[in-house]
Structure 1
Amino acid sequence: MVGNKETEHAAVMHVMALERAAGRDPKDVRTSGLPYDIESPPRMIEVKAFSRTARSEALPLEHRQVEAARANPEQYYLYVVDNLAGADGAEVGVRTLHGETLSAMIERSQPQMTYWPTFRAAEYDQADRLL
């Protein structure tokens, strides 16, 4: 079974390979605090990864990602990588959204506040476990 981090990492590596093949110089900036995952001038790329199809799925964006997309509509890209659990990667697909299409998707969505507490190791170890 592949976890969320592994799925995201596989998607980012896949996108970076595609960016290099397109003649761009991508950099993984996930740990830099930027509102996107890959810097591939002139693109700022946020990657959304799905082990299965992303068709009709929600694409969660943080407030700062929405603001970056609004401020840079021609440079901010959302790459949706799906079917990562497919055999031999043969079914992996990448859809790109930016500009008017991404702006329209953002405008028709309703913002929701979400809390993302970190499940610290000590809390994980001490939490009741159901068997």
Structure 2
Amino acid sequence: MATSELRSPKQVEDAAISFVVQQEKLAGREAIDTRYQGAVADLVSGDRIIEVKAAGTSFRGQDLWLETRQVQAARADPDRFWLYLVENVRQGDPAHFRLLRVGGEQLQQLMAKARERHYYEVPLPVAVYDAVLALDD
């Protein structure tokens, strides 16, 4: 079956979440998607709290963006909080995704080097995007 390239960030994120849910099932854990429930991370799976990061290609050498509450959770509960990095997602075929699990002491070493940043998230609704695009045509 042919797969097609994933284009939107939501498509990439959803594919990564689905992939991790399947991988957790193979590991004997049931992952529950908590993204839209106000939870600190994307999934809860067994005793793990999992924040999933998806990359179109690779995370190699890249910074990982975490919310303040995610950093706090990782520091407060180092045995339960995990980062799952799903790479090569944009091409669309889960058979070619790569999963890196970062937890425990390795995650704590990363948390010790975390740099706090402040920024604003400015929504760009579809209607505004389409209106701006129309002006450029």
Asked if Structure 1 and Structure 2 have the same fold, meaning a TM-score greater than 0.5 normalized by the shorter chain, the answer is: yes
The percentage of counterpart residues that share the same residue type is 34
Say which of 38, 50, 54 aligns to 2:43. 38
Give the Å deviation of 1:54.
1.4
Q: How many residues align?
A: 131
Q: 1:13 aligns with which of 18, 24, 30?
A: 18
- Which residue does the alignment assign to 2:112? 107
Aligned 1:20-31 pairs, distance under 5 A? 20-31=25-36
Question: Which amino acid is 1:77 matched to?
Answer: W
2:68 is aligned to 63
Task: Provide runs of 4+ in structure 1 moved above 6 Å.
Answer: none
Q: Distance in 1 between matches of 2:38 and 2:17?
A: 16
Residue 127 (structure 1) shift: 3.6
TM-score, normalised with respect to structure 1: 0.90
Taking a change above 3 Å as real, the CA distance of residues 87 and 124 of structure 1, as seen in their structure-2 partners, is: closer
87-96 vs 38-47, which deviates more?
87-96
After superposition, the CA RMSD in angstroms is 1.8
Say whether 1:96 aligns with 2:106. Answer: no
Structure 1 unaligned residues grouped into runs of 5+: none
Higher relative contact order (CA 8 A, sep 6+): 2
Q: Distance in 2 between matches of 1:86 and 1:6?
A: 11
TM-score by length of 2: 0.86
SS at match of 2:61: coil
Q: Which amino acid aligns with 1:16?
A: V
Q: CA deviation at 1:121?
A: 4.2
Deviates more, 1:97-106 or 1:118-127: 118-127
